Amino acid sequence: MTQVHPIKAFNDNYIWAICDTQNLDTWVVDPGQSHPVLQFLREQNRQLTGILVTHHHWDHTDGIAELISHYPETPIYGPKDSPFSGITCTLSQGDSITIAGERYNIIKTPGHTLDHICYVNDTRAFTGDTLFSGGCGRLFEGTAEQMWHSLQALSALPDPCEVYCTHEYTLANLDFANAVEPNNDALTAYTTWAKTKRAQNLPTLPTNIGNERAINPFLRSNNDAILAHLPEVLKGPTEAQWQVFAKLRLWKDQF
């Protein structure tokens, strides 16, 4: 059995702690800071067993060196050919690893960065900065076409699959999503729910794949209602679905 706990970091990051309920083993995902992880381990009397990296950005990796100084034998899993040099166990598309007794597959998801990977199975997906609740990551290194294919791969996971992304961006994402699809009843209901959660200082995460298919404009770029609400400057012929996604991402960047 596995339990997943959010560890808050910076202003809006979550470091996910994956805890084996049968023992003290704990894996952490994208530890941009060390001290909140060390505090969690100390308070829960748990042992750091592994570190999982989705991509090289500093707010996902800066805490690793300090964690390794306390737990020097801890393996650091992450994408092959990543600019982050601290990875000790490299992973590529099609690889799999066991975390807390459960098998996770590696999906390569370029777009936000070129090295980005996600750790997924039918139950959980640790999506880093690729898929957010109501949104997706900015295109810092990859192309819109790459990101669209990455999101399609995640969208193919089962509806109940829980999505653990690494930022509490939900309300800002939903502001944009409501501009894109103002008549989406599922989106309206989810926005109300998310606002209630944040008013109580509670995470809106995890979300799940079924919910994201219903409310996330970046997974719904084939929807005619989305095309109808594009700003005039972005309207025009598109030859492929990824080009609609590209227009949405550009709109979001300027929103």
- Over residues 170-184, the mean pLDDT reads 96
Cis, bond preceding 206 (omega within 30 deg of 0): yes
Of 68, 179, 163, nearest to 119 by C-alpha is: 163
In the predicted model, is pLDDT for residue 128 greater than 80?
yes
Annotation-wise, does 112 bind a ligand? Answer: yes
* pLDDT average, residue stretch 245-255: 93
Tens-digit pLDDT profile for residues 81-94 = 999 999 999 999 99
What mean pLDDT is reported for the chain?
95
- pLDDT greater than 60 at residue 233: no
Average pLDDT over residues 23-32: 98
62 is in an annotated binding site: no
Q: Stretch 128-154: mean pLDDT, rounded?
A: 98
CB 138 within 8 A of CB 146: no
200-224 mean pLDDT? 94
Sheet-wide strand order for 2-9: 2-9, 13-20, 25-29, 47-52, 76-79, 89-91
> Rounded distance, CA 62 to CA 133, Å?
24
End-to-end CA distance of the chain, in Å?
42
Residue 70 among known ligand-binding residues: no
Query: Known binder of ligand: residue 116?
Result: no
Q: What are the CA-CA distances from residue 212 to residues 67, 170, 224 (Å)?
A: 33, 11, 17
The pLDDT value recorded for residue 209 is 98
Per-residue pLDDT, 226: 76
The pLDDT of residue 237 is 62
Full-model pTM: 0.95
Residue 239 confidence class, pLDDT cut points 50, 70, 90:
low
Name the residue type at position 205.
Answer: L
Positions marked catalytic: 55, 57, 59-60, 112, 129, 167
185 labeled part of a ligand binding site: no
Q: Which tokens go with 172?
A: 């800002």
Mean pLDDT, residues 204-230 taken together: 89
Which of 38-52, 126-140, 233-247 shows the lowest mean pLDDT across its residues? 233-247
Segment 101-108 mean pLDDT: 97
H helix or E strand, kind and range, residue 80 = none
Residue 53 has pLDDT above 60, yes or no: yes
The β-bridge partners of 207 are 163
Q: Would you say 20 is a known binding-site residue?
A: no
Residue 222 has pLDDT above 90, yes or no: no
Kindly report the three-state secondary structure assignment for every residue of 177-223: HHHHCCCCHHHHHHHHHHHHHHHCCCCCCCEEHHHHHHHCHHHCCCC
Q: Under CATH, domain 2-253 is a member of which superfamily? A: Ribonuclease Z/Hydroxyacylglutathione hydrolase-like (3.60.15.10)
Distance (Å, rounded) from C-alpha 87 to C-alpha 64? Answer: 10
149 is in an annotated binding site: no
